[in-house]
Chains A and B, each alone.
Chain A
Amino acid sequence: MKHSENIAPILEIKDLRKSFGEKHVLNGFNLKLFEGENLVVMGKSGSGKSVMVKCLVGLMQADSGIIRIKEQDIEVLGRTELDLLRTHIGFLFQGSALYDSMTVRENLEFPLRRHKKQLHLQEDTESLVLEALKNVGLEHTLDLMPSELSGGMQRRIALARALILKPEIILYDEPTTGLDPITSKEIIQLMRSIQETYNTSSLIITHDVDCARVISNRMILLVDGINYAEGTFDELSKSQDPKVKAFFKT
């Protein structure tokens, strides 16, 4: 999937830097995500992938750099504008992050309470919740508590919650981490089918090569806080660079 320089990316990061004391995690990271694209960012544990994605949604303040989502610079947005922008972004957390004091239904209704009107969603809450659950194949879990679900089911419910506001961008933070191989494959297939159904743009943070192979249109390897290498899965997997090869060894 090639993109012309004339097309504005839906999400762009320029020269992002972030340090924790003496530890420089991001040293000028750049990224462009285009509409309908699945972009995978791969890196070792502790390479700053999660920090980058948290800076993207304003959960963490970057030291410097520009983050532009839907042509809006998030650094200059006020609380209300940022909250509104966030409704265009779905976020799947590494540990699912379901609200454990709420049922599945309440988890899914939560993002709708404030933003259903603002986003002009015509359907009633119940239909939106059921549609989101149908997308992940878990309609029967509506009144269960998160603690009653398996890890894979929790991840799928979290994905349904990320989808409920019909976002244009979905950020996946290690979507398959902690899951068995079969459930991981199910999640990856689910991500693909969601992208095909809703034409979302996805930024996937992972160190799972299988996940990257199946889902990516394009990949960035994050090494030492910079984009070390970029290209398609095939291009990168054939690279002779030792640092790039190390990712694909397994």
Chain B
Amino acid sequence: MTGSANNNKFLAFFEEAGELVLFTGRFFTEVFKPPFEIKELLRQCYQMGNKSLLLVGVTGFILGLVFTLQSRPTLMQFGAESWMPSMVSISIVREIGPVIIALICAGKIGSGIGAELGSMRVTEQIDAMEVSGTNPFKYLVVTRIVATTLMLPLLVIIGDAIALLGSAIIENLKGEVSFVLYFNQVFDALSFSDLIPATVKTFFFGFAIGLVGCYKGYNCSKGTVGVGEASNEAVVYTSMLLFVIDFIAVFVTDIFYG
């Protein structure tokens, strides 16, 4: 009985993975085909980018503050507090900033997309779009995936900058390091091999957030319960996928820059 249940779960997992691959394939066939829904794309960019800015900003700022506060005593033990700007900037820009901000966006944007498309599905709004002669996949899915892919890198860059500002404030208050000196050390420590791979992977993070949110919402069923599940699963699956993408990105970066 348990073996059979495990087999079913195993099969269901691969079925779902297969469907997600087909959904991704459909995205790539539709994204380059006219008509292009530019107005809706810009609206989505505004919804996802501008409206996530405050959350990303606050998260980044607290991240910078906490990270510096927590690291300071350890570095002081080794008399290495002068390395703080380098350490914080490399950690935040390369890894912590992109991953934390992507996770925050998975929670805010991914679940929002899952719930919105899910409720549109169960209330037949997607069907209504289809019968009015508009391709709902193009209008709803393609625009949202492109918007998350374009907006996440921008949000991460802004979040990283605010995190470094938070760190600089702590250094200024606790270590009496001026802002100019702090940011000079930050820019000295960072190179293109830190910035480029970290930025490139955020495009994939954004793509994953949009893709999974849209997949779950667009294929939602089972009424209002289904909407809740779509929203919840969008966050859970995206979070797991983000770590997988991050691992692959670090692995590939290590091959090129290691």
A: residues with CB less than 8 A from B are 54, 57-59, 79, 83-84, 86-87, 89, 91, 93-95, 97-101, 110-111, 113-115, 161, 165
Contact = CB atoms under 8 A, between A and B. Distances in A.
B8 interface: no
B95 interface: no
B133 A91 contact: no
Q: By CB atoms of chain A within 10 A, which of B116, B120, B131 has the most?
A: B131
A93 B35 contact: no
B124 A95 contact: yes
A114 B134 contact: yes
A34 to B, nearest CB: 22
Q: By CB atoms of chain A within 10 A, which of B116, B120, B130, B132 has the most?
A: B132
A57 B134 CA distance: 13
Contacts of A57: 130-131
Contacts of B132: 86-87, 91, 110-111, 161, 165
Q: By CB atoms of chain A within 10 A, which of B125, B127, B129, B133 has the most?
A: B133
Interface of B: 35, 116, 119-120, 123-125, 127-135
- Interface secondary structure of B, over-half rule: helix
Contacts of B129: 99, 110
B128 A97 contact: yes
Contacts of A110: 129, 132, 134
A111 B134 contact: yes
Contacts of A86: 130-133
B125 A99 contact: yes
B133 A95 contact: no
Contacts of B131: 57, 59, 86, 89, 91
B135 A97 contact: no
Contacts of B35: 114
A94 B124 contact: yes
Contact of A111 (B124, B127, B133): B133
Contacts of B125: 97-100
Contact of A79 (B116, B124, B135): B135
A83 B128 contact: no
A250 B120 CA distance: 35
Given A83-B135, A87-B132, A97-B128, 14 more contacts: A79-B135, A83-B134, A87-B133, A93-B124, A95-B123, A97-B125, A97-B127, A98-B125, A98-B128, A100-B119, A100-B123, A101-B116, A110-B132, A111-B133
A114 B128 contact: no
Nearest to A158: B128
A36 B214 CA distance: 41
A54 B131 CA distance: 10
Contacts of A113: 134
Nearest to A89: B131
B88 to A, nearest CB: 41
A83 B132 CA distance: 8
7 contacts: A54-B127, A87-B133, A94-B124, A95-B123, A98-B125, A99-B120, A110-B134
A35 B179 CA distance: 78
Nearest to A79: B135
Contacts of A93: 124, 127-128
The 3 closest A-B CB pairs, nearest first, are A97-B128, A111-B132, A97-B124
Contacts of A58: 130
